[in-house]
Amino acid sequence: MKVKSNDLDALIFDFDGVLTDNRVLMFSDGTEAVVCNRADGLAFDHFRAVGFPVYIVSTETNPVVRARGAKLQVPVIDSVSDKAVAIRELCEAHGYISERLMFIGNDLNDLPALNLVGYPVAVADAHPDVLARVDHVLTRKGGEGAARELMEKVIDFDQSDQ
């Protein structure tokens, strides 16, 4: 699947299991840490450079989600109980059309969002029910550069032929 960027209003990522490898490090003081892939940083730099709207939408309440979003300079909507509701609110706030959104997910709680958007995508190690629902499965697993793969192989940012 190759999607032209001008066919999309925005790109929305789940966090855990998409931008992370879905593991959590638990420290003795109760704080948590996750593993992210630095290759994704270049992808987010590119999205920002071309003015392409990108968001992270997560049910997670851990401050690490916002910290990673701040590092990537990506707006984060966290602590949501229903990602589809959060995406509808994004549409209302920014004039997006859900059929022109791409959502990248990995687990069962992503299904409502995947069912809402026009371009549902999953990482390679997503839950089987998610894999059955999406239009495109990335070759990379969560935390292994999903955003980078989208930038390089899925979304066509070259608008010179249009």
CATH number at residue 68: 3.40.50.1000
Q: Residue 162 domain-assigned?
A: no
What is the reported pLDDT for 140? 97
Q: Residue 35 domain-assigned?
A: yes
Residue 116, token pair as written in the block: 């809402």
Q: How far is CA 3 from the centre of its chain?
A: 15
Q: Residue 130 domain-assigned?
A: yes
Q: How far is CA 48 from the centre of its chain?
A: 14
Q: Residue 161 domain-assigned?
A: no
Rounded distance, CA 51 to CA 65, Å?
A: 22
Whole domain around residue 92: which residue ranges? 3-156
For tokens 């229903």, name the residue.
Answer: 82
Strand 119-122 vs strand 101-105: parallel, antiparallel, or unpaired? Answer: parallel
What is the reported pLDDT for 161? 43
Q: Residue 145 domain-assigned?
A: yes
Rounded distance, CA 80 to CA 154, Å?
A: 27
Q: Phi, psi (5° rounding) for residue 118? A: -80, -20
Q: Residue 66 domain-assigned?
A: yes
Q: Phi, psi (5° rounding) for residue 130? A: -70, -45
Q: Residue 45 domain-assigned?
A: yes
Strand 76-77 vs strand 54-57: parallel, antiparallel, or unpaired? Answer: parallel
Q: Residue 122 domain-assigned?
A: yes
Cβ contacts of 71 within 8 Å, gap of 6 or more: 41
Per-residue pLDDT 10s for the chain (162 aa) are: 789 999 999 999 999 999 999 999 999 999 889 999 999 999 999 999 999 999 999 999 889 999 999 999 999 999 999 999 999 999 999 999 999 999 999 999 999 999 999 999 999 999 999 999 999 999 999 999 999 999 999 999 876 544
Total domains in the fold of the chain: 1
